[in-house]
Amino acid sequence: MSRDPGPEASALLAWDRALLSRALAELPPLNRAVVVLRHEEDLSYEQIADLTGLPLGTVKTYLFRGRQRLRESLKNEVGA
């Protein structure tokens, strides 16, 4: 688990982390919250709906749009 990925891999990882961190920070709060609940906390759509009190469809919309935005901003950063 604690394998050292090596200096090059670490640098790459740090770059990715920084980009993702910034991209997450730029998401609207609700999109960010739903994305984090889904991926860091590994909650299901239904659990997120229950926790937030949002309708299931709304949870999905925020999640899908949030990830789409993350993907786009990461692509733009890498391509820039």
79 scored as a contact of another protein (CB under 8 A): no
By CB under 8 A, residue 15 contacts another protein:
no
Count of residues of this chain found to bind another protein when the rule CB under 8 A is applied: 33
For position 70 contacting another protein by CB under 8 A, the verdict is yes
45 binds another protein (CB under 8 A): yes
Three-class secondary structure assignment of the chain: CCCCCCHHHHHHHHHHHHHHHHHHHHCCHHHHHHHHHHHCCCCCHHHHHHHHCCCHHHHHHHHHHHHHHHHHHHHHHHHC
Instruction: Give residues in contact with another protein (CB under 8 A).
Output: 16-17, 20-21, 24-25, 29-30, 32-33, 35-37, 39-43, 45, 47, 50-53, 60, 63-64, 67-68, 70-71, 74-75
